[in-house]
Structure 1
Amino acid sequence: MTTALFIVVGSRGDTEPSLALIDALLRNHIFAHVHICLQSDYAHLVPPSPRLTVHLLPFSTKTFQKVMIKDYILTRLRCFFTRQPFDIVSFQLHCISAMVCDIVLPSLSSIQSVAAAHPPSLVLASSLAANLASTLADAHAVPAVVLNLQPNVPTSAYPNYMSSVANASLAATEIAHLQRHPASVQKESPAYRATYDYEFHSTSRPVVNKLRATLGLAPLSAEQLADVLYGRYPRVHVINSYPAQLVPPGKDWAPGVHHVPALADEYEPAGWDARKACPRVAEFLARGEKPVVVSFGSTTIQGFEKTLSRAILHGLKEAGVARAILLRRAHGDIGSHQLTKKAADGPWWAKKVREWATGMVNLAMWLVWLNPQAELLEDAANAGRDEELRAWAAEHMLECTEEPQYGWLLQRCAGLVCHGGAGTVFAGLKAGVPVVVAPILGDQFFWGSLVQELGLGAVAGPDLQRADCEAFAQAIKTVREQDVRERARAYAEEGHKMEKGSDVAAMLLGKIVASEEGKCLSDRTGQAVNREAYTYSR
């Protein structure tokens, strides 16, 4: 009996594409059974099936958030005192390394117990768990597949957009040129390969090798750890899942790298019913014209909920949006309830105490987040404007904590305002909805720049924390323009002609498992890796 072990680590945006793939694997009878290891806070998303067993990982999303917040504060303080510039994208690479080393890799023992009890024919993993997958694959002599939900693999066509904000913008410019001029010769630059460095792999190497030693496996070099992620390690394949309409697959990717369309841009779990899962949203959608949706997924928004709530509501109001849905999340509870309320009448000293307390709280947040645009003291003018925004929201906007499926929701909407997570952007464009991106971390800057370059959306910048009222208003006005909406509709029509990403990936995995002794489709396992062609610069 063929069994797959799937290790899913990350956000909801990592979990739902993985579940879409598992659904296709079982539906197409690629595997008789799938064991999935995931975080407890996403276990409720797994549809019941006798052929699917859930195993909970010993950490949750909150564990990641604690590491990120701690690293963010320490990094900002270090940059403040050393006068060095702070780059949010390169910070994320450092943060991901800390998460992998401190949280993900130590979970090997619990996952190994699952693999020992249910020997897999294949080990799959989301990108954060790539080294876990390769280690288990070596221990059990089976193939492994790393599932990337974007094309972050070395190429000379564009720089690594995860290396800096500047490279995110440059990569978007280069890719947009390729998309607009497909017949032109693809520009290649060795300097772009140099943006893929070994820092991440060097940092995680001691932890990986310590875990490999517990299983009796030989240690790996930093270059071999890079090979795992970039499709050059024996028996390990990389699947990049994203729309080729946005980014063309790399012509110089290693043979072990494969491309499939996005997995979950239309995903709805088996048995999911909008009337039961999100009755308020379903009822609001049935009442009038298509609304604009505002959702920042699992993004952590702490310390600037009030300024962000004000900026978004002002932007929607100024752009002439008649109806909107704001999906509130526990990680960053934004909405009209965050806006300043007019101070109640009372003795003069009570007002002074309130002003002093508000000032101290905001000053503390300014010191923690080092946000130069934080308001140190709420004034009467803001309170008056906030009252107007609160009244507008009560009339035009639904604010709720329900969790509708994007594949169902967005095809019933007219626009999307989000953080720029890859899966969210893919779902919006697949539904023919232009996208406003207010990025805050890593690849979000790239996807925001790319949809803007391709005329499929706009960026509310410079980032989510500093985007002001006018930035959101201008971005929302841009995506409501006729030419942007027509381009988004044309993009969706073209996308619907393509095969379903989850089915394509399932068939590919079946071929990988069926290949003799776990060889790659290119029949490269056991042969020396051609590092002349695929090595990137230090």
Structure 2
Amino acid sequence: MDMYMLLKLLVYQFTFSSQCPGHRPTYEFPHPLARVSQSAGYWLSYIVVDLLIWWGIRGYINEFRKRKLKLPPIAYFSTYHGSISHLPTGYMWSPHLVPKPIDWGPLVDVVGYCFLNLGSKYEPKEEFLQWIQKGTEPVYIGFGSMPLEDPKNTMGVILEALKVTGQRGIVDQGWGDLGNLMEVPDSVFLLKDCPHDWLFLQCAAVVHHGGAGTTATGLRAGCPTTIVPFFGDQFFWGDRVHQKGLGPAPIPIAKLSVEKLSNAIRFMLEPEVKSRAMELAKLIESEDGVGAAVDAFHRHLPPELPLPTSSSEDIDQPNPLQWFFIQIEKWCCPSC
């Protein structure tokens, strides 16, 4: 048996993803790394994005196969037909936020979120705890590790939006140094290094960049959510949150303004939005993502390790679309 395939069977027999459905094409929504507005292009977006990623990393993979595994190089479509559809896959997000597409089939499970519960042992500083307790629930605003071209201007937008809406705010300084060396009013607290699963329970609503983990934690806490995406799958989660009525349409960081952030805060604080967020939080809390993931893993394990097959049996004949991309790949990277 091909050593690479043996490793896949032993180590990746069940593939888990917590971020986005980038490996499994569907007609229900586009690849999270692709901005496709027409449903006709949803399925094709997975092939195009995956192929672009493959062209970027194929050299490293084939060099590893050649030097370490003593195996011949592989071509994306000719070997794996552009997907991992032959492998069981589990997606670790709530099916109440993104239901499993009907065209994914029995090898795919959407198991629910799997949380680390980092806040269970967190002890906040007394100054922070007193600030939280002396007023109304604040609005959290933070962008984590996302880079900011102009932190001072972004912080100005945040402070003005909080002032206009009359809200208290917790600003996570993050890697973008929001509020660094700035004077802020008493209604705003500058924060660093606090577990989100503890912090978000203290907040009325949250504004963040839309990372998969941050989005999950905010929804679990019952927080209406505004996502300010920078890149990647953040737009995908922003769209999902908006479609569920849990927050306004996502505001790309380049378009963040006092008016848009103020309107977003007002939208999140509407009673019906909070009610929808709390309903979803209860559904998420009732899920057992870890247990469902373990059950799915065991359910899909083969009764015995498959026996080696000849090379002619390993690869089915490609369909016309796969054949087309195989020819493109051969033309673009003949040495790979």
Task: Bin the TM-score by the shorter chain.
Answer: 0.7 to 0.9
Tell me which residue corresponds to 2:121.
Answer: 273
Corresponding pairs, count: 312
Work out whether residues 151 and 249 of structure 1, in 8 Å CA contact, stay in contact via their aligned partners in 2: no
**Structure 2: how far apart are the matches of 1:224 and 1:404?**
47
SS in 1 for 2:185: helix
Q: Quick one: distance in 2 between partners of 1:192 and 1:537?
A: 18
1:155 aligns to what SS in structure 2?
coil
Hey, what does 1:300 align to over in structure 2? 147
**Corresponding position of 1:202:** 55
Contact 1:231 1:257 in 2 (8 A): no
3-state SS of 1:411 partner: helix
Instruction: Find the counterpart in structure 1 of residue 155 from structure 2.
Output: 309
Q: Deviations over 1:223-261 (max 9, x none)?
A: 267668x4335xx54321111112221222265433211
Counterpart of 1:328 in structure 2 is 173
Change (3 A) 1:399 1:238: same
User: 1:208 Cα deviation (Å)?
Assistant: 0.7
In the alignment, structure 1 residue 151 sits paired with structure 2 residue 4: no
Change (3 A) 1:496 1:336: same
Question: Is 2:329 the partner of 1:458?
Answer: no
Residue 132 of structure 2: which of 282, 285, 292 is its match? 285
| 1:59 match | none
User: 1:163 is aligned with what amino acid?
Assistant: A
CA RMSD of aligned residues (A): 3.2
Per-residue CA shift, 1:386-426, capped at 9, x if unaligned?
A: xxxx4xx321111121x222222212211001011122112
Report the counterpart of residue 215 of structure 1 in structure 2: 69
Distance apart, 1:282 and its partner CA:
3.8
Kept after mapping to 1: 8 A contact 2:21/2:31: no
Matching of residue 508 in structure 1 with residue 296 in structure 2: yes
CA contact (8 A) 1:241 1:259 kept: yes
Give the match for residue 10 of structure 2: 142
Q: Secondary structure at the match of 2:60?
A: helix
Q: Find 1:430's aligned residue among 220, 227, 233.
A: 220
Question: Offset of 1:530 from its aligned partner?
Answer: 8.9
Structure 2 equivalent of residue 101 of structure 1: none
Contact (CA 8 Å) 2:79, 2:315: kept in 1 or not? no
- Picking from 266, 280, 283, the partner of 1:477 is 266
**Selected match of 1:163 from 34, 41, 58:** 34
State the distance in 1 between where 2:227 and 2:89 align: 28
Contact 1:193/1:536 (8 A) holds in 2: no
The 5 A counterparts of 1:73-472 are 138-139=6-7, 142-144=10-12, 145-149=14-18, 150-152=20-22, 153-164=24-35, 167=36, 170=37, 189=40, 191-196=41-46, 197=48, 198-213=51-66, 214-223=68-77, 230-233=83-86, 236-253=87-104, 256-264=107-115, 267-269=116-118, 272-275=120-123, 280-301=127-148, 303-321=149-167, 323-329=168-174, 331-335=175-179, 337-338=181-182, 390=183, 393-401=184-192, 403-459=193-249, 461=251, 463-472=252-261
In 2 relative to 1, CA 534–231 (structure 1 residues): closer, same or farther, beyond 3 Å? farther
In the superposition, relative to structure 1, how do residues 249 and 205 fare at CA in structure 2: closer, same or farther (>3 Å)?
same
Give the drift of 1:514.
6.9
Taking structure 1 as reference, are residues 215 and 415 closer, same or farther at Cα in structure 2, changes over 3 Å only?
same
Contact residue 308 and residue 465 of structure 1 kept, 8 A: no
- Normalising by structure 2, we get a TM-score of 0.80
- What amino acid is the match of 1:517? L
| 1:515 to partner: Cα distance | 4.0
Tell me the distance in 2 between the aligned counterparts of 1:537 and 1:263: 39
Label 1:530 to 1:483 Cα distance change in 2 as closer, same or farther (>3 A): farther
C-alpha deviations, 1:99-154, integer Å up to 9, x for none? xxxxxxxxxxxxxxxxxxxxxxxxxxxxxxxxxxx986645862414332222321
Sequence identity, in percent?
25
Shift of 1:199: 1.9
* SS of 1:504 mapped into structure 2: helix
Deviation at 1:503, TM superposition (A): 2.2
- Pairing 1:478-497 to 2, within 5 Å after superposition: 478-497=267-286
Task: Give 1:33's aligned residue.
Answer: none
**For each residue in 1:493-537, what CA deviation from the matched residue of structure 2 results, as whole angstroms up to 9, or x when unmatched?**
23233x221222133334455742279xxxxxx876696699698
Q: Residues 471 and 536 (structure 1 numbering): CA distance in 2 closer, same or farther, change over 3 Å?
A: farther
Asked if the contact 1:309–1:336 (Cα under 8 Å) also holds between the matched residues in 2, the reply is no
Kindly report which structure 2 residues correspond to 1:63-82, keeping only aligned pairs within 5 A, or say none.
none
C-alpha displacement at 1:317, in angstroms?
1.4
Q: Is the 8 A contact 2:93 2:112 kept in 1?
A: yes
The one-letter amino acid paired with 1:400 is: L
Answer yes or no: is the 8 Å Cα contact 2:268–2:274 preserved in 1.
Answer: yes
Match of 2:328?
A: none
Q: TM-score, normalised by structure 1?
A: 0.52
Q: Distance in 2 between matches of 1:243 and 1:536?
A: 36
Q: Which amino acid aligns with 1:162?
A: L
Distance in structure 2 (CA, Å) of the matches to 1:251 and 1:530: 25
Cα pair distance change 1:485/1:537, threshold 3 Å: farther
Contact 2:120/2:198, CA 8 A, preserved across alignment? no
Q: Which runs of 5+ in 2 are unaligned?
A: 308-312, 326-336
Q: Give SS of 1:294's match.
A: strand
Q: Is the 8 A contact 1:312 1:469 kept in 2?
A: yes
